[in-house]
Amino acid sequence: MINCKLNVAVIGGGGREHAVVKKLKCCAGLASLTAIPGNGGIARDVECVDIDSLDVSSVVRYCRDAKIDYVVVTPDDPLALGMVDSLGEAGIRAFGPVKAAAQLESSKIFAKNLMKKYGIPTADYETFTDSASALKFVRESFASGKEALVVKADGLALGKGVTVCMSREEAEAAVCIAMDEKRFGKSGERIVIEEYLTGPEVSVLSFCDGNTIVPMVSSMDHKRALDNDEGPNTGGMGCIAPNPFYTPEIAEICMESIFIPTIEALKKEAAPFKGCLYFGLMLTDSGPKVIEYNCRFGDPEAQVVLPLLESDLLSLMLACTDGSLTPEMVRFRDGAAACVVVASGGYPGEYKKCCPIGGIVSAESTGSVQVYCAGVKKDGDALVTSGGRVLCVSAVAASLEQALKTAYRGVEKIRFENMHFRTDIGKRALCAF
Ligand code: AMP
Ligand code: GLY
């Protein structure tokens, strides 16, 4: 229960943070809300303070001086740097895992070894610290009949550290890019090479208080840049929730074989997880397996999951931090949500910046549409593009079909030079019904 109103700060400046901000703004226990650093679009909702979210000591100093009571740490990098630990040392409570638990995302080797030790289903793998042994393993695997392998940099790599390799040559190149060319810096000094899995992918975000885990409504990201899952991997080009492949039976299996064992494993490793734990799952013929853990809300998963959340987000976050979470506290509305990411043409490669953006207000007057701003900055009174993923147009409706139609009607109103979006978000999900 919240006894007095809180000054809250949200760390980060993407579409996900905009979704968190919009949801927190409606919470009963809020006195004030600030985004650090936020972005030009978030600044239309709350005050934004221009401090780099990787500058942990400046963020902590600001929060102490501004009498911030509670900090929501949303992106992966500040979590990996131990921002929650540093805020705690300064007497400021925060939503998110401490550094030791955030290793689940910041080191794939940590995550894979944990899963192996505790029998949590995941792809078979080997880890490597030098390219010669990695290349030998690649050659031997393909010689013994493997048709594909997945090469993963151990550390954070802006979502670019995973390469699905459908030939020996591709796998060899991926090893060299990470270990010899050092394209991901220190993050690629160690790598994981794992078995290639197939099946529908599901994202399940969950609230955790260290002991109790409560899954949120499931969702489906669309990672490739182009329609029909073609083109390079991106941070995510659109999302739908709930994910129709994630049936109640599968949810039960995941709870017993993946979610609870993960929370228990982290407790045993003296790194109990508090915050939002994201399970990236693949529903294979031999059951659900973990593809990746993230220690935070997904982007764009948050932009479909949070609009469906009925419960008070701030109360849930505080319950995670204080260790008082119960399943009854987490309620989602019926129906579905969809979002379409509107990106700068060329993303995830090179793209132009500073293009004036129009149509946000008009899009938001379309049914239930909400426009979350990501790569957006202010230019006087106008908004201009400043990143690859620019806007995320979300809608909620009674059915997935309706939510998709409304989101795409919203997208039609958006205008900026060279804008790009996928036209098939939700298509695969609709086929599952
Ligand atoms: P990640 O950045 O870890 O989310 O991985 C990016 C994407 O690579 C995932 O969403 C999957 O589509 C794919 N991927 C990762 N690991 C595997 C695997 N073991 N088998 C097949 N695809 C994978
Ligand atoms: N949508 C994938 C992620 O947030 O990592």
Spatial separation of the C-alpha atoms in residues 134 and 139, rounded to whole Å: 9
Question: Model-level pTM?
Answer: 0.96
Q: Which residues lie across from 378 on neighbouring strands? A: 383
Owning domain of residue 306? 201-431
pLDDT of residue 373: 98
Q: Which atom of ligand 1 is nearest to the CA of 223?
A: 10
- Shared-domain flag, residues 71 and 151: no
- The rounded Å distance from CA 167 to ligand 2 centre is 26
pLDDT tens digits, one per residue of 383-419: 999 999 999 999 999 999 999 999 999 999 999 999 9
Asked whether the beta carbons of 376 and 41 are under 8 A apart, the reply is: yes
Which residue is closest in CA terms to ligand 2's atom 2? 298
- Is 107 part of any domain? no
pLDDT of residue 339: 98
DSSP letter at 378 equals E
Query: Cα torsion at 376, 318, 238, 419 (round to 10°)?
Result: 0
- Is 120 part of any domain? no
- Shared-domain flag, residues 173 and 219: no
Asked whether the beta carbons of 314 and 27 are under 8 A apart, the reply is: yes
Whether the pLDDT of residue 349 is over 60: the answer is yes
Which pairs count as long-range contacts for 224-233, CB under 8 Å and 24+ apart, including other chains?
225/343, 225/347, 225/348, 225/420, 225/422, 226/422, 227/422, 227/423, 227/424, 228/424, 232/348, 232/349, 233/159, 233/160, 233/162, 233/348
Q: How many domains does the chain have?
A: 3
**Lowest mean pLDDT, pick from 150-159, 168-177, 211-220:** 150-159
- Shared-domain flag, residues 205 and 266: yes
Which residue is closest in CA terms to ligand 1's atom 11? 291
- Shared-domain flag, residues 185 and 210: no
Mean of pLDDT values over 80-106: 97
- Is 111 part of any domain? no
CATH number of the domain where residue 336 is located = 3.30.470.20
In the chain, the amino acid numbered 241 is A
Q: Got the DSSP string for 91-139? A: T-EEES--HHHHHHHH-HHHHHHHHHHHT--B--EEEESSHHHHHHHHH
Asked whether the beta carbons of 393 and 363 are under 8 A apart, the reply is: yes
Which residue is closest in CA terms to ligand 2's atom 3? 298
Closest CA to 8 of 18, 27, 374: 27
Sign of CA dihedral 218, 210, 22, 2: positive
- Shared-domain flag, residues 345 and 365: yes
Spatial separation of the C-alpha atoms in residues 27 and 24, rounded to whole Å: 5
- Shared-domain flag, residues 238 and 387: yes
- The rounded Å distance from CA 163 to ligand 1 centre is 8
Asked whether the beta carbons of 330 and 207 are under 8 A apart, the reply is: yes
| Ligand 1 shell residues, CB under 6 Å | 123, 150, 159, 162, 164, 194-197, 201, 223, 233, 280, 291-292
- Shared-domain flag, residues 134 and 51: no
Mutate to test the pocket of ligand 1, among 164, 196, 205 (most ligand atoms within 8 A of CB): 164
- Shared-domain flag, residues 262 and 288: yes
- The rounded Å distance from CA 236 to ligand 2 centre is 6
- The rounded Å distance from CA 164 to ligand 1 centre is 7
- Shared-domain flag, residues 247 and 370: yes
How close are the terminal C-alpha atoms of the chain, in Å? 40
- Shared-domain flag, residues 386 and 306: yes
Kindly state the helix (H) or strand (E) to which residue 341 belongs, with its residue range. strand 336-344
Mean of pLDDT values over 95-123: 97
Mean of pLDDT values over 417-428: 97
Q: Would you state the structure tokens that stand for residue 389, as one six-digit string?
A: 């993923």
CATH number of the domain where residue 59 is located = 3.40.50.20
CATH number of the domain where residue 144 is located = 3.30.1490
- Is 364 part of any domain? yes
Taking every pair of Cα atoms in the chain, the longest distance, rounded to a whole number of angstroms, is 65
199 alpha carbon, closest ligand: 1
Give 206's pLDDT tier (boundaries 50, 70, 90): very high
- Is 55 part of any domain? yes
- The rounded Å distance from CA 343 to ligand 1 centre is 22
Mutate to test the pocket of ligand 2, among 218, 299, 305, 372 (most ligand atoms within 8 A of CB): 299
- The rounded Å distance from CA 409 to ligand 2 centre is 25
- Is 102 part of any domain? no
Domain boundary among 94, 119, 145: 94
pLDDT tens digits, one per residue of 222-271: 999 999 999 988 999 999 999 999 999 999 999 999 999 999 999 999 99
**% of the chain beyond a pLDDT of 90:** 96
**% of the chain beyond a pLDDT of 70:** 99
- The rounded Å distance from CA 203 to ligand 2 centre is 9
- Shared-domain flag, residues 230 and 268: yes
